[in-house]
Amino acid sequence: MNFNWNGRARKRLLRLPETVALNSSGTLVSCGKLKEGSRKLLPMEPNSIVVVSLHSPKEKIWGILLSLNPSGITVRGIDLNSFDHFVSQINQLDAERVGLPTVFFPMTRVERVSLDEPSGSIPSMADIFQRKIGRSLFDYLAQFA
């Protein structure tokens, strides 16, 4: 049986969103979102707030994208399961300052990278952070720079 490994079929097989671009050898070329009302792909640039889905073990990391290249992804963030604990720790008056660790994940573990953006009436994680803390993630992390 001959299977045509075109980009669309490979993305479906790997369960990648249509906004991920792969070259003919299957290497990640770009990741982004479609501009509203357009077919033009906007790249996922450094300092975007993203959710990285990983496998082996299965994890989701929320944070700021520092770099994305063929070897892997570098994110300053936390496990999505720890988000509520992280926010409550920041809100404690007597607690020490809590930042986000910088972590590198090899591309072999990366399943999907998505922008942290609202979907209809569901707010993004960054919006939830800002509502609970009273300042944006970037403003909060500026104190650690």
Question: 69 and 11 in one domain?
Answer: no
Entry pTM? 0.70
Question: 107 and 55 in one domain?
Answer: yes
What pLDDT, on the 0 to 100 scale, is given for residue 136?
95
| Domain count of the fold of the chain | 2
Question: 129 and 71 in one domain?
Answer: yes
**Average predicted confidence (pLDDT) for the chain:** 80
**What digits encode the pLDDT tens for the residues 17-34?**
444 554 444 445 555 544
On the question of pLDDT at 14 being above 60, the answer is: no
**What digits encode the pLDDT tens for the residues 47-88?**
999 999 999 999 999 999 999 999 999 999 999 999 999 999
Q: Of 24, 22, 21, which is closest to residue 4 (Cα–Cα)?
A: 24
Question: 68 and 29 in one domain?
Answer: no
Question: 26 and 60 in one domain?
Answer: no
On the question of pLDDT at 10 being above 50, the answer is: no
Residue 92 phi/psi, 5° resolution? -70, 125
Question: 39 and 74 in one domain?
Answer: no
92: domain range? 45-142
What pLDDT, on the 0 to 100 scale, is given for residue 94?
79
Residue pair 29/43 in contact (Cβ under 8 Å)? The answer is: no
Residue pair 49/123 in contact (Cβ under 8 Å)? The answer is: no
Question: 108 and 49 in one domain?
Answer: yes
The whole-angstrom separation of Cα 126 and Cα 136 is 7
Kind of pairing between the strands at 49-54 and 72-79: unpaired
Residue 35 phi/psi, 5° resolution? -70, 135
30 burial type by CB count under 10 A (0-12 exposed, 13-18 middle, 19+ buried): middle
Q: How far is CA 142 from CA 4, 97, 138, 145, in A?
A: 48, 12, 6, 5
